[in-house]
Amino acid sequence: MNILLLGASGMLGSDINTVLHTAGHHVVGFDSKTFNMCDGHAVETALSSYPTPDFIVNCAAYTHVDLCETHREIAFEVNGKAVEHLARFAYRHHVPLVHFSTDYVFNGQKESPYLETDTCDPINAYGESKLAGEVAIQKYCEKFYLFRIQWLYGHHGTHFIKTISNKAQNTPHLNIVNDQWGSPTWTVEIATSVLSVLETRPEYGLYHLASEGYTHWCEYADYFLKFQNIACKLAGVPSSAYPTPAKRPLNSRLDIGKFAKTGCIKPSTWKEGIAKFLS
């Protein structure tokens, strides 16, 4: 297959690039050095200079959750408007689009895992901007795989495992939030699921895609620190004790039942994913 990949140097994009290449597919990668996503003309010119691909995969996004509160305009430009351009481009060229959204489109008040059909009600600017991208894809695109993913970690970029592991080596004690629930997911496992989707082409649409099982940040940290034999005493604290510019939903659990029914390869449990990543 021929695939055009946007955001190829990001945390998820890097692993999708590697996994698709390794499986023998031809991937042309773009990042912010190739073009600014918000420049519709530049995107159109760059993408049109290649033969029509089998898929466009978009991993590019403005992902600084807290900065989105003060940089709303950039967030909506990249996560909303630029995605609309891409969706229109994909539609005009009859190319299926793969795109990633987030658990942060929900307000976190539901008491059970979120389904694809649940109402979106983001509580921060990042979630609002990502929802704008979702809406654009569903409005302008005919063939799309839209994956809501969450709590990513991987070999590239910065993420919770890297940050906390570094901190924990220099302090005997850390307070970690224990009232936000979700599922830590390894980027390589998302990439493997995406590969499986591209090769088997289940029904187009919106899917929740994450590791199996759920945890909170404190239990998550406890698991990977023990796995690495890093001795640091953790204390669970409520979100209110750790205020951030952007509010986070308390319940970020995604129900992955719809994706599981496709028969495509799905991520393992959150503990198995971390064990594989750290081994």
Task: List interacting residues with ligand NAP (CB under 6 A).
Answer: 7, 9-13, 31-33, 36-38, 59-63, 78, 100, 102, 130, 149-152, 157
Residue number with CB closer to ligand NAP (197 or 229): 197
Q: What is the total residue count of the chain? A: 279
Residue number with CB closer to ligand NAP (102 or 107): 102
Q: Residues 62, 126, 214, 220: which is the catalytic one?
A: 126
Q: How far is the CB of 29 from ligand NAP (least distance, A)?
A: 9
Residue number with CB closer to ligand NAP (67 or 275): 67
Q: How far is the CB of 95 from ligand NAP (least distance, A)?
A: 18
Which one-letter DSSP state was computed for residue 8? Answer: T
Distance separating alpha carbons of residues 78 and 133, to the nearest angstrom: 9
Contact partners, residue 50, CB within 8 Å, separation at least 6: 2, 4, 28
Q: How far is CA 258 from CA 147, 189, 237, 266, in A?
A: 11, 17, 33, 11
Q: How far is the CB of 171 from ligand NAP (least distance, A)?
A: 24
214 is an active site residue: no
Q: How far is the CB of 8 from ligand NAP (least distance, A)?
A: 6
Residue number with CB closer to ligand NAP (205 or 263): 205
Is 52 in contact with 95 (CB distance < 8 Å)?
A: yes
Ramachandran bin of 205, using left for φ above 0, alpha for ψ from -120 to 50, beta for the remaining angles: left
- Active-site residue numbers? 126
